[in-house]
Structure 1
């Protein structure tokens, strides 16, 4: 069965999830991984040239979540840049070769302010709801919490491997400083954009709203009475570890506070799929003037063969 078609809006908010290959702990938090991940994420936002804004994020040991605003299909190139650089650089850190990601990322539209706050709460709950740490602040991985409770800008290092490669001499590249040496490090700033429903609030009120969400998710976790693994144990896990059991759940079509909004999204998606399939049928017959829905990707055609829809 093929992947479901992606439907991008002219502009909109998305809740993005990407999981590591086989659920392995390839993103297991440590100081080096956090620094590299932060630099790659900041560079990806800069590379988007304003077509993607970052509102929240958290990196677990085997997956990550982003809450973003994106224009048109720019999220596709943003995620390609982000995941490709994470797989190369974090893979090098944890000595992992081969596939880094399990499957395509999911990007679910977030359709109203209540749903946006709900997705932010979900991001902040990571580590607590799973019983890994007692409070969100104890999670040792990269998270947006320090930026939500402090300055919105945070500085990381981007390790410029192009500079390293271009600066090589006739000597073997292995004789040069390693790929994460300070010679290749460039400062890069990661900025967190406020939720649109909070833009009218001053910093103190925004932080108060975040703390209220934290109190709620931590109270729910305590009520479940699950034992806590602890940040130290999380960091002691080997990044190649494959969990025995992975949580699997169907991907929602989107997130909204009312069923009516989700129903409208479902009808919009059905119309999008129908229009895409009609255009694709003409495309496969050689009619390359067939109009595809906005922000969609036509099938790739190889001379003499018809290949899969991207």
Structure 2
């Protein structure tokens, strides 16, 4: 991900969003996101720029991932730590590397065990575009030339349930989770692909068999919490459908439930945008 460029800089994301965990693989990108941040807009921005910019590096057209992104709530602290363990297990549980620290792709582990701030390179294509037609650009400066590279800092926020812990305590907890993951992987006694083989794979390589498991409605440490979440979701869907039906009958004052996306154009009057 070091070469991933963005067409326009968007510093507002750094001020409005808290990413607690992250891991990147060829088949998925997983983030733990703080409540209240503009997640939908951020994911639209991220996925679009990954497809357009990183795609140029590997000659990939279209979206990077076949499925649309989804966001599931994490309902309690135990489940949140479980999500951290799940993220740290990527690469190890699939038999790609022996240790979590060996994963050659994007991972939050170095930031969890060291400085929470990490520098990446952002290729300022807006700056490059401003020099179009000039002699400097005509000599062959590509989109990923060092001339357009600028440092961008990414800082991870502590998990909400760990904010009361000191830095050393958080790092010890992370190391304990990593050790659990690696011990379980060794107990399966299966061959490991290895870092060199992972790096040698072509970006267009597809697995012979795709695992398509249903996405969970949410993550919780108790079945009772999940039952309550399902009931809340049913209530939300019923309220949305009722409002949509009233909207379709011409009652544009129908209230939609919070955090939903009501229609943006009045039915039958396309020119009138709300």
**Partner residue of 2:15?**
50
The structure whose RCO (Cα within 8 Å, separation 6+) is larger is 1
Bigger Rg, which one = 2
Aligned residue for 1:108, secondary structure, equals coil
What residue in structure 1 maps to residue 26 of structure 2?
Answer: 61
2:250 to 268, 271, 286: 286
Task: Work out which of the residue numbers 117, 132, 139 in structure 2 matches 1:168.
Answer: 132
Aligned-residue offset at 1:51: 3.2
Match of 2:18, SS state, is: strand
- 1:244 equivalent in structure 2: 208
Shift of 1:62: 2.1
Give, in whole Å, the separation in 1 of the partners of 2:125 and 2:266: 33
Indicate whether 1:89 and 2:53 are aligned.
yes
TM-score with structure 2 setting the length: 0.91
| Structure 2 residue aligned with 1:141 | 105
How many residue pairs match? The answer is: 268
Alignment partners' CA distance in 2, 1:301 and 1:286: 12
Residue 172 (structure 1) shift? 11
Q: Does structure 1 residue 178 correspond to structure 2 residue 162?
A: no
* SS of match in other structure, 1:128: coil
Q: Which moved more, 1:258-267 or 1:144-153?
A: 258-267
The answer to whether the Cα contact below 8 Å between 1:51 and 1:70 also exists between their aligned partners in 2 is no
5+ residue gaps in structure 2? none
Rate the CA distance shift 1:259–1:185 in 2: closer, same or farther, 3 A. Answer: same
TM-score (norm. length: structure 1): 0.81
Query: Higher strand proportion, which one?
Result: 1
Using the alignment, how far apart are the partners of 1:298 and 1:173 within structure 2? 46
Q: Map Cα deviations across residues 239-278 of structure 1 (whole Å, 9 max, x no partner).
A: 1112111112111100011111111111111111111111
CA distance in 2, matches of 1:175, 1:303: 53
Identify the range of structure 1 (281-290 vs 294-303) with the bigger mean alpha-carbon deviation. Answer: 294-303
SS in structure 2 at match of 1:36: coil
Separation in structure 1 between the aligned mates of residue 134 and residue 266 of structure 2, nearest angstrom: 40
The aligned runs of 1:1-310 (5 Å cut-off) are: 34-37=1-4, 46-48=11-13, 50-71=15-36, 74-169=38-133, 175-301=139-265, 304=268
